[in-house]
Chain A
Amino acid sequence: MVEIISLLVENKPGALMRVTGVLVARGYNIESLTVARTLDPTLSRMTIVVDVDDRLRPQVIKQMNKLINVLQAQDHTEAPAVSRELLLLRVRAIATEGQNKDARTAILKEAEIFGARVVASNIEGFVLEVTGDPEKLDEFIDVMRSYGEIEVTRSGMVSVSLESKKLKLAPPITRGATQSEEEENGVLNG
């Protein structure tokens, strides 16, 4: 089974290594991983798809939350969230060969059905861009393959929650504060 994890991570050296390191060390196979800056440039959003047993999903989230650079870890697998993937596909369809005229037209038709855009075109063929859920992209690939040699680059899944989850952060702690002071500050209550 796959789990879709959404992480909010501090943009610090080694943060990506820590995340992938824990996943690998715990034996969770990474299917895809995307990472990019958020509106706050000191933070990154990662969407990771891992192959784990359903039963282990909460454990993966807990392991992610343990990382000091991880501010928030959410399981989007069944939660209200939207997940999309971008695909760039180059399909070979040489313009000069007479009988290929039809193929080129057909490719463009098919692209339209999938909501794909042509991002490059030359006499060798096209590069198409399409987004969607993974199943749709799989289908698109199957269809395009029937027209000729293809090459594909997938972005990996990106995901956004439909609910705004309150970000729970540890507040600053005062150094040298006694435990009861810390308690008063609500500091250690996470």
Chain B
Amino acid sequence: MSTAMANKLMSGSEVLLECLVQEGVEVIFGYPGGVTLPLYDAMYDHPIRHILVRHEANAAFAAQGYARSTGKTGVCCATSGPGATNLVTGLVDAMMDSIPMVALTGQVTSKLIGTDAFQEADTFGITRSATKHNFLVKKIEDLPQILHEAFYIAKSGRPGPVLVDIPKDVFQAQGHYQPVNSIHLPGYKFVVDGHNGQIRRAAQMIWEAERPYIYAGGGILHGDASEELVETVDIVDCPVVNTLMGLGAVPANHPRFISMPGMHGSYAANMGMYNADLLIALGTRFDDRVTGRLAAFAPFAKVIHVDIDPSEISKIRHADLPIVGDVKRILKRLNFYLRETKDEMAPKTEPSRAAWRTQIKEWMEEHPYDRPVSVDEIKPQHLMTEIDRISGGNAIVCTDVGQHQMWAAQLIRFNKPRLWINSGGLGSMGFGMPSAMGAQVANPNQLVFSISGDGGFQMSLPELATIVSNGLPIKIIVMNNGYLGMVRQWQELFYNNRLSQVTLDTFPKADLLAAAYGFKGRTIEHPRDLRSALEEAVAEPGPFLLDVRVTPFENVYPMVPAGGAINEMVLGQPSPAPAGVK
């Protein structure tokens, strides 16, 4: 930071942009408006990259795709009032999945705040519960401190979205960029190191266990602890599952990796969870989609719970051994203690652990995920299997929410962290394609798939323009079953198969739709075309829209019905014809 900069008189907008530069921000996903005019004017000749989305909701999703695929803090920007309210879903989504994001919103001029001015909304109030923290900037002098605090809060501890609301007059005011050398948030306390005694005890508990089981979540990715986790798995030589948020934390091809547990998790993953005598829960929060009926969740297991957020400990399931802190640091030390005590402690329980591994393997072989292939219809699972083949565990896959998301999570493998991007906690439809934009912007040379349902795709449709404008070579796959498939599945199973408002009988022709935006698209209906069409999409230098017509009445299995016990999975049966469609 040069003194010249500190002395230079700048507008609030310029100060803001300087803060972003200082934070290493490469790109903003945003949409301008009345009160952000001064900011966008300053951007006009500023080197920072801005990507004009076509709807603010997608700015927040794109910023998340950027953050989820890189671990860096994503930035989105919207104008006051409707711009800010359009961001809200993406904020809550980032909050639920602990994604570092800074949202910048314009606000009406300070003097007009509280007067129901044009495009005024109480953004600070509205986003209070949608953010980890939020700020309303009162004067230009506060801008640098607040912005750097915002970035610090977003990324540190348990990451999350932070919103900074900036009135128009603050953008316009003249001031200086005062370098911020120190951040003091006395109430923002988080522990990173983890209690040493507890970590030692954890090692001991692990060696004493006969059926240890590692249940690792998104925290492993946020904490960049994948390497350490694999080491733990290797030392203990025990089964491991990754939650929907944690897929990729352990490479899918690791011999001890089972799959995802939970409502649509694998048979072996859930049986393992049910029968374990020690659950090693790492950066995960016992979501109801994982546990099913709590009373029947891992009923024989003691629980070691590692999390950076103390409020997650014993929130859902009592932790017999809680360790609060950064999972990477804790695993490093745990691995040390495990190694140190292995020779002495492991042999006694090793025969039981060997039997446990054999049991898990049997379960895996007994009921692997179903991968049906038909000669005249494209089965959704067939589509995912083919995408998996092309990806080979290395492509970035962003999905929307619904059946396609679950099949993708089950059947596409990820050999590295940060390849699998989806809205887990909030389950926001319309997330897939915009998040793929963010991921592709961050990883311009990587193969990025956006996989949506025909419902969710239509929620993010306007972003086709953004994709084309920015030359993002995303492979947009629509798993088109003609229904809001996941809702239809529940209507079939739990509402007497009366299909109410789930039929999507109109869908644009993919070739024409893509052509209208100036790129290539194609619809396929026959399994013989599946592989070649996917290869064509991947070979295309630009974006490609592939509409894949799949069997409409196919259900995601295994399934733990809501409130059911995880070991009582429905393994699947063919769908009967609907009782009625409205």
Contact = CB atoms under 8 A, between A and B. Distances in A.
Contact of B192 (A18, A65, A188): A188
A120 B82 CA distance: 52
A65 B310 contact: yes
A17 interface: yes
Given A169-B186, A170-B186, A173-B182, 11 more contacts: A9-B187, A18-B128, A63-B311, A65-B311, A170-B188, A170-B189, A175-B148, A175-B181, A175-B182, A176-B181, A189-B191
A102 B315 CA distance: 59
A22 B133 CA distance: 12
> Which of B134, B182, B189 has the most chain A CB atoms inside 10 A of its CB?
B189
B285 to A, nearest CB: 13
A176 B128 CA distance: 28
B288 to A, nearest CB: 15
Nearest to B136: A13
B185 interface: yes
A166 interface: no
B125 A190 contact: no
B250 interface: no
A18 B186 CA distance: 17
Contacts of B507: none
Nearest to B313: A62
Interface in A169-184: 169-176
B40 to A, nearest CB: 27
B158 to A, nearest CB: 9
B279 to A, nearest CB: 20
Contacts of B311: 59, 62-63, 65-66
Interface string A39-74: 000000000000000000011001101111111000
B309 interface: yes
A10 B184 CA distance: 12
> Which of B185, B186, B193 has the most chain A CB atoms inside 10 A of its CB?
B186
A25 interface: yes
B110 interface: no
Contacts of A169: 186-187, 189
A172 B181 CA distance: 10
A69 B128 CA distance: 13
A115 interface: no
A170 B188 CA distance: 6
Contacts of B310: 62, 65
13 contacts: A14-B124, A14-B134, A17-B128, A66-B309, A68-B133, A168-B189, A169-B186, A170-B184, A170-B185, A170-B188, A172-B182, A175-B152, A189-B191
A170 to B, nearest CB: 5
A60 B449 CA distance: 42
A21 interface: yes
B6 interface: no
> Which of B129, B188, B193, B315 has the most chain A CB atoms inside 10 A of its CB?
B188
A25 B311 CA distance: 15
A175 B226 CA distance: 27
B183 interface: yes
B153 interface: yes
Contacts of B188: 68, 170
Contacts of B309: 66
Contacts of B136: 13-14
Contacts of A188: 156, 190-193
Contacts of A173: 152, 182-184
> Which of A66, A67, A168, A173 has the most chain B CB atoms inside 10 A of its CB?
A66
Contacts of A59: 311, 314-315
Main secondary structure of the interface of A (DSSP, over half): mixed
A21 B128 contact: yes
Contacts of A58: 314
Ranked 9 nearest A-B pairs via Cβ:
A190-B189, A62-B311, A172-B184, A169-B186, A71-B187, A188-B192, A172-B182, A170-B189, A68-B188
Interface of B: 124-125, 128-129, 133-134, 136, 148, 152-153, 156, 180-193, 309-311, 314-315
Contacts of A13: 124, 136
Contacts of A17: 125, 128
A65 B133 CA distance: 13
> Which of A10, A21, A59, A70 has the most chain B CB atoms inside 10 A of its CB?
A59
A68 B128 contact: no
Contacts of B129: 21-22, 25
A172 B180 CA distance: 12
Interface in A66-104: 66-71
Nearest to A58: B314
Contacts of A69: 187
B167 to A, nearest CB: 13
A169 B190 CA distance: 10
A174 B180 CA distance: 9
A171 B186 CA distance: 6
Interface in A120-148: none
A5 to B, nearest CB: 14
B20 to A, nearest CB: 14
B128 A175 contact: no
Contacts of A67: 187
Nearest to B324: A190
Nearest to B156: A188
A70 B187 contact: yes
A68 B153 contact: yes
Given A21-B129, A25-B129, A62-B311, A71 B186 contact: yes
B183 A175 contact: yes
A65 B187 CA distance: 8
Nearest to B148: A175
A104 to B, nearest CB: 48
A168 B190 CA distance: 11
A172 to B, nearest CB: 4
Nearest to A176: B181
A69 B311 CA distance: 17
Contacts of A190: 189-191
A189 B186 contact: no
Nearest to B158: A66
A18 B136 CA distance: 14
